[in-house]
Structures are given as C-alpha cells and as structure tokens.
C-alpha cells in the first residue's frame, strides 16, 4: 500500500516560503560598514554642496572613505575600519561645528537589487551595535504643582464670571484656598465649582468656616500625571527623530520613567542637552501697573505676575492668563526678521490661533510680551562629594512689542540670539515637555563590546544548532535529516520575518533563537515517536508514516498554543529585552509549526511515497 498523494498547493506554498525566506534573510549575510551619519539639527535638507564640504574635511584629515552620499535623507560616509570611523566622526564634529548631528552608525552593505525588493537586515539593539542608554525620570511633583496653579487661576476667573464674590485666594500644599464673606457665597461657589470643574474636589477646613479648599480628585491627579508622562514620551520621540539617529528606542518604564536608547551614538553631550531641555515660550498681555513698585515692595497686584526682561533686568508685570503657550505650538523654524536679526517663526494650533486672533483684534496698539521659560538642573556636591541636583527656574521676558495688526496662526518672535533662536526652534518644533525630566541613569556601550556580543551570540547559536543536528541525525537517521532540513528552513524564515518586520535584535533575542532551535524539533520528535508506535502496533510502513503526521497534529498544536500563550504574557507584562525575547520566540513557534508539519511531510512524501518499504528508517 502506497501513501496518498500530497496536495500540489502545499508544495507550492513550501517553495514560496523557501524563496521568500532566502531573499529576505539574505541582507543579514552581507554585514555592515562602519559609518558616520550626518544630518542637520533643524531637520532641514542638507545643502547641495554638502558632499564637497565632507570630502574636503576628510581629505584634510587624510581619511579615505569607502563611499559617501545621501541614503534615506541623511549623509552616510562609509569606512573600512572602526578606527577610521571614530577618527572621521571626531574630525567632522570639530570642522562642521554646531548645527549638524554627527553620529556613529553601521550602514548595511545590502546589494541594490535586494533593496529594490524592500529587503533589509534586522536592526541591531544597543547591546549589539553600541550606543547610549538613558533612563529619565519625569518630575511628577512639578505636574501636580502646576495643576494647583491652574486651580488658583481658573477657579477665581470662573467665580468672577459667575458674579460670585470672594475676599481672598492663596495656594497651599497641593490645593488652592478661597475665602468668602459669608456662607451664601461659599455654598454658591461650591456648587459652581462642582458644575464647571467636576475634576476638582472641594473641602471646607474645620478651622476656617468661610474658606473653601479646592484640590484635584485622586482620579484627576492620576490622569494628569499619566498624560504628562505620555506627552513627554511623544515629545522625546520627536526630539530624537530631530537628531536623525537610526533605530532609536524611546519607551515608558513604570509609572514615571522613560528609557531612551540611541544605537550608534557615542557622544552624549548634545543628546543630554536636547533630551532634558524644557525651554518654551508663552505669549501674555502686559499688565497695566507699576512694575517698579511691585519689585520694591514684593506686593504683586491680583491677576498679575512679576518678571524681568532679559537684557536690562527691568521689572515687568504680565497678566496671569496665557494667550498661547508651548502646548499650542505646532511648528517653529529659525529665521530672520525684517532688520536681519535672528527670530523664530511660530505656527499655532487651532485653539491657540483662535485665542491669538481674538486678543490681537481687540488690542491693536497695545503691548504683548513674550516670556521665555526654561527649567535647568544644576548639580552641586555636598561635603561627602555626593551629587545634589537642584532645579532652577529661568523666566525672562525676551521681548515686548506693540501689536500693529491682527494675526493668529503664524507670526514671528524676536529678541533671541542666533544660536538660541536655532535651538529654541528645534525644541518648539519637537514639542514642549509637559514636565521636566531628569537623567537618573546613563550608560554607554562601545562598538567593540557590541561586536563581541554578536560573536558570542553567533557562537552560541552555531553550537546549539550543531548539537541538535548531531542528535537528530544519530537518533532518527533519515527522518532526522528531514528534521534538520526543516530546522534550517525554520531559521531562515525566522530571520526573514524579523527582517521584514524590522525588529530590533538584542542579546535576549539571540537567546530566544538559541532556545528556539532546541524546542523547534519537538514537533518532529512527536511525529517520529508516533510513527514508531504505529509500527509497534503492526501498521504497514506507509500507513505508519501517514498516521504519525495525522495523529500527532493535535498534540503538536496543543503544545504550541501553550507556548504562544506564555510568549503573549511575556510580551504584555514585560519591558524592553523581555518583549524582544517574546517576539523572537513567538515567531519561531509559528514557523516551526509550519516547517515541521508541512516541510518534513513533503520530504517524506517525495522520498517514500512511491517506494515499496519493508521498514521505516526511523529506528
């Protein structure tokens, strides 16, 4: 009795999988060139003669690149060795100066015909490529403090609008306090606050019967902290994209921390300046009052705040209400004003543009101030030499201009130095941080260490593959060779799929590959043991082979489903390297299911289907 014919479409699928795997796994064979990646900090395209500039700089340093040119919107200079790469990066940083981002990178040597098919090598993680790792902590106390400041500003404004009189307001720890002349107005204020600000909660202090304490509800406090961290995550991603670094990783870790990994970057100074910068602008109306008297006495009129101009430290009173601020800025670019001085061209979102238009329409001929705000982290050291980080607020009025006409969405801001205008435009374009961040951990992984990790990972994978091959060939003979063929196809498909998905391969990912090689043959072992059982039960050889594949299928499916459930849990609950391990293992489980059942059965059909068998070479 011969074996039943195997469906032709299954052979077609198998051949297609083999061709797909070989094509899209191939880019990983060609390796990388040590390279230097150059882009403009502003994100603008590089000048047309930039290639000549780079060539002159490299020739002056007696450096001969393998290739130099635009690749995917950035200038890539390839070198034959890491030593030349490092020397070229230092030279280009020094000669090109500020305004350009010069980053170490590894440029793939993928042939053009493979690139045309969209084939790319897998991205390498920080532990394999080298680069910098930052762990940033979001200042959630600052988020809550600013939320309380909004309470002190918004609630009194609403009460004035509702014509509910109060006699005083002040800010205490975590809340705003309002004083009222009688119980009637206090009750009316409590009802108005509940109606207009349901996210706030009110409390009447027992020692102040005519006062009302307004604070954030627990749910609202949690929401604004979560929103601030999420907004910072988006902003930091935008800032990293402005740097032009290849394959960056920016992700949340825990409640208030963010991990930033920049493969290929070795110089951290510029990166730290950009990640932690909190500079933004606020546009406010000038308060009509005696600023000098307020500065001398320390008594600031209600509804106003005291600031000082940048140039001559002159006191200025500004209204508390912000016409437009960092949250409303959607685009910014460094430019020049009508007099040829540095300026920032600003574009507002719909809400900001509407407020700006309404304000300028009613206040033509009146002054409007631009307030520059920045929060710096200053590190001092105590007597034991331990670092003590302190926050320093910088709030300066950079310009006060008379409104000459009505404008809304687009306008210019002046009063900045050239470099400051450029940096501020970059920050505003990337977005303002919702809360200050502090770098609490910094690590640098050198390119040589990454190369060592790759060699060790490859050696481990090769050793694991060799041991599996020897065992299967010795124990299952011809069917063991089928399993080995399926395992090789499985690895090719795994690498191809990871490459197509542009997944980032890290050391945990390599661990997942090595582990997968050990468990990928499990399905074949189940099939072959089932064939042995059928033979022991007296089944004919061809029937035993068919029964082995047919009856082992459910057992294999059950085992793989439980494995997939475990990887889904790892991916859902894990962070960073754990997710990479889970993704690699999950893809491997799916490809092994296909190669073990379809691949080895196709081989068995080709070899044994039309042959008379007295026994099955599986013993």
Provide the residue range defining the domain that includes 545: 8-27+446-608
Q: Are residue 544 and residue 413 in the same domain, yes or no? A: no
Last residue within a domain, chosen from 108, 124, 151? 108
Q: Among 493, 596, 516, 610, which Cα is nearest to 553's?
A: 596
Between 16-30, 45-59, 204-218, 421-435, the lowest mean confidence (pLDDT) is in: 421-435
Q: How confident is the model at residue 98 (pLDDT cuts 50, 70, 90)?
A: low
End-of-domain residue from the set 56, 88, 108: 108
Q: 76 and 38, same structural domain? A: yes
Give the residue-averaged pLDDT of 262-268. Answer: 66
Do 13 and 52 fall into the same domain? no
By percentage, how much of the chain surpasses pLDDT 90? 3
DSSP sequence for 31-93? -EEEEEEEEETT-PPPPTTHHHHHHHHHHHTT---SEEEEETTEEEEE-SSHHHHHHHHHHHH
Per the domain annotation, does 527 fall within a domain?
A: yes
> Is residue 1 in some structural domain?
no
Nearest-Å Rg of the Cα atoms of the chain is 33
- Say yes or no: 394 and 354 in one domain: yes
343 assigned to some structural domain: yes
Residue 375 β-bridge partners: 393
464: in domain = yes
Query: What's the domain count of the chain?
Result: 4
Structure tokens given for 181: 């002349």
Question: 336-380 pLDDT, tens per residue?
Answer: 766 667 777 778 878 788 888 888 888 888 888 888 877 665 556
409 and 450: one domain?
no
Same domain membership, residue 384 and residue 287: yes
Helix (H) or strand (E) holding 590: helix 577-594
**What is the CATH number for 37?**
3.30.70.260
C-alpha distance from residue 522 to each of 433, 469, 495, 515, 608 (Å): 51, 13, 20, 12, 22
Average pLDDT over residues 459-481: 81
* pLDDT above 70 coverage of the chain, percent: 84
Please indicate, yes or no, if residue 232 is contained in any of the structural domains: no
**Mean pLDDT score of the chain, rounded to an integer?**
79
Contacts of 549 (CB under 8 A, 6+ apart): 527, 597, 601, 604
Which CATH number does the domain housing residue 529 bear?
Answer: 1.20.1640.10
- Judged against a pLDDT cut of 80, whether residue 436 lies above it is answered with no
Q: Smallest Cα–Cα separation from 379: which of 309, 439, 457, 424? A: 439
Q: Are 18 and 10 in contact (CB under 8 A)?
A: no
The pLDDT-based confidence of 425 (bands split at 50, 70, 90) is low
List the single range of 54-58, 323-327, 432-436, 538-542 with lowest mean pLDDT.
Answer: 432-436
Same domain, yes or no, for 502 and 372? no
Residue 315 lies in a domain: yes
Q: Residue 423 belongs to a domain with what CATH number?
A: 3.30.1360.200
Most confidently predicted of 101-115, 122-136, 223-237, 295-309: 295-309
Q: Each residue of 292-311: pLDDT tens digit?
A: 999 998 888 888 899 998 77
pLDDT at 385: 61
Residues 6+ apart with CB under 8 A from 40: 46, 99, 100, 101, 244
Closest CA to 585 of 517, 522, 488: 517
Task: Please tell me the distance from the alpha carbon of residue 533 to that of residue 544, in angstroms, as a whole number.
Answer: 8
Residues 23, 36 within the same domain? no
Same domain, 422 and 398: yes
Answer yes or no: is pLDDT of 613 > 70.
Answer: no
The residue among 274, 349, 281, 230 whose CA lies nearest residue 42 is 274
- How far is residue 74's CA from residue 382's CA, in Å, rounded to a whole number? 45
Could you tell me which of 325, 324, 274 has the C-alpha nearest to residue 427?
A: 274
CA 132 to chain centre: 14
Q: What is the per-residue pLDDT for 221?
A: 83
Q: What's 196's domain CATH number?
A: 3.30.1240
Whether the predicted model's global pTM rises above the 0.85 cut = no
Residues 459 and 381 in one domain: no
Residue 185 in any domain: the answer is: yes
- Report, in this order, helix, strand and coil percent for the chain, each rounded to 5: 50, 25, 25
93 and 160 assigned to the same domain:
no
Sequence-distant (≥ 6) Cβ neighbours of residue 270 within 8 angstroms: 101, 243
Tokens of 220: 């609202």
**Domain closes at, from 382, 405, 432:** 432
Same domain, 598 and 451: yes
Whether residue 265 is contained in a domain is answered as no
């Amino acid at each position: 009795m011969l074996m039943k014919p195997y469906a032709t479409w299954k052979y077609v699928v198998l051949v297609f999988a083999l061709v797909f795997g070989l094509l899209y796994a191939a880019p990983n064979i060609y390796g990388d060139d040590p390279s230097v990646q150059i882009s403009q900090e502003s994100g603008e395209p590089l000048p047309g003669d930039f290639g000549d500039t780079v060539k002159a700089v490299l020739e002056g340093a007696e450096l001969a690149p393998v290739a130099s040119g635009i690749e995917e919107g950035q200038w890539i200079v390839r070198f034959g060795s890491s030593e030349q790469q490092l020397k070229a990066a230092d030279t280009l940083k020094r000669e090109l100066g500020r305004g350009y981002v010069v980053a170490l990178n590894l440029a793939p040597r993928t042939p053009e015909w493979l690139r045309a098919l969209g084939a790319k090598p897998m991205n390498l993680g920080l532990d394999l490529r080298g680069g910098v790792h930052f762990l940033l902590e979001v200042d959630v106390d600052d988020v809550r403090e600013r939320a309380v400041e909004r309470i002190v500003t918004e609630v009194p404004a609403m009460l004035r609008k509702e014509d509910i009189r109060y006699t005083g307001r002040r800010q205490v720890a975590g809340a705003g306090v309002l004083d009222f002349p009688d119980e009637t107005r206090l009750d009316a204020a409590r009802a108005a606050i509940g109606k207009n600000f349901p996210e706030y909660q009110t409390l009447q202090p027992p020692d102040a019967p005519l006062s009302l304490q307004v604070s954030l509800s627990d749910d609202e406090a949690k929401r604004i902290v979560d929103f601030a961290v999420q907004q910072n995550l988006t902003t930091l991603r935008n800032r990293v994209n402005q740097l032009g670094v290849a394959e960056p990783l920016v992700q949340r870790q825990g409640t208030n921390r963010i991990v930033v990994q920049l493969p290929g970057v070795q110089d951290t100074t510029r990166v730290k300046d950009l990640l932690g910068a909190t500079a933004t602008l606020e546009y406010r109306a000038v308060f009509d009052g005696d600023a000098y008297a307020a500065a001398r006495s320390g008594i600031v009129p209600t509804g106003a705040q005291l600031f000082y101009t940048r140039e001559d430290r002159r006191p200025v009173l500004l209204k508390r209400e912000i016409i437009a601020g960092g949250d409303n800025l959607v685009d910014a670019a460094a430019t020049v004003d009508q007099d040829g001085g540095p300026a920032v061209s600003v574009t507002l979102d719909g809400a900001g543009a509407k407020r700006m238009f309404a304000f300028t329409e009613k206040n033509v001929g009146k002054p409007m101030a631009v307030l520059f705000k920045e929060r710096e982290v200053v590190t001092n050291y105590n007597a034991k030499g331990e670092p003590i980080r302190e926050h320093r607020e910088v709030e300066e009025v950079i310009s006060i201009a008379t409104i000459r006409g009505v404008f809304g969405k687009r306008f210019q801001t002046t009063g900045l130095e050239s470099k400051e205008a450029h940096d501020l435009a970059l920050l505003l374009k990337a977005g303002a941080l919702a809360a200050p961040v502090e770098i609490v951990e910094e690590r640098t992984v050198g390119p040589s260490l990454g190369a060592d990790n790759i060699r060790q990972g490859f050696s481990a994978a090769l050793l694991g593959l060799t041991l599996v091959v020897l065992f299967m060939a010795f124990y299952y003979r011809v069917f063991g060779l089928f399993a080995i063929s399926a395992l090789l196809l499985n690895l090719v498909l795994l690498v191809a799929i990871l490459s197509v998905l542009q997944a980032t391969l890290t050391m945990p990912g390599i661990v997942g590959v090595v582990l997968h090689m050990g468990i990928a043959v499990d399905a074949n072992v189940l099939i072959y043991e089932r064939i042995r059982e059928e033979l022991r039960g007296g089944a004919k050889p061809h029937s035993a082979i068919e029964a082995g594949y047919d009856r082992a299928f459910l057992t294999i499916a059950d085992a793989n489903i439980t494995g997939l459930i475990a990887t889904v849990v790892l991916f859902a609950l894990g962070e960073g390297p754990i997710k990479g391990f889970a993704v690699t293992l999950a893809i491997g489980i799916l490809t092994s299911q296909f190669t073990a059942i379809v691949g080895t059965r196709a081989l068995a059909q080709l070899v044994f289907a039309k042959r008379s068998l007295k026994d099955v070479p599986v013993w």
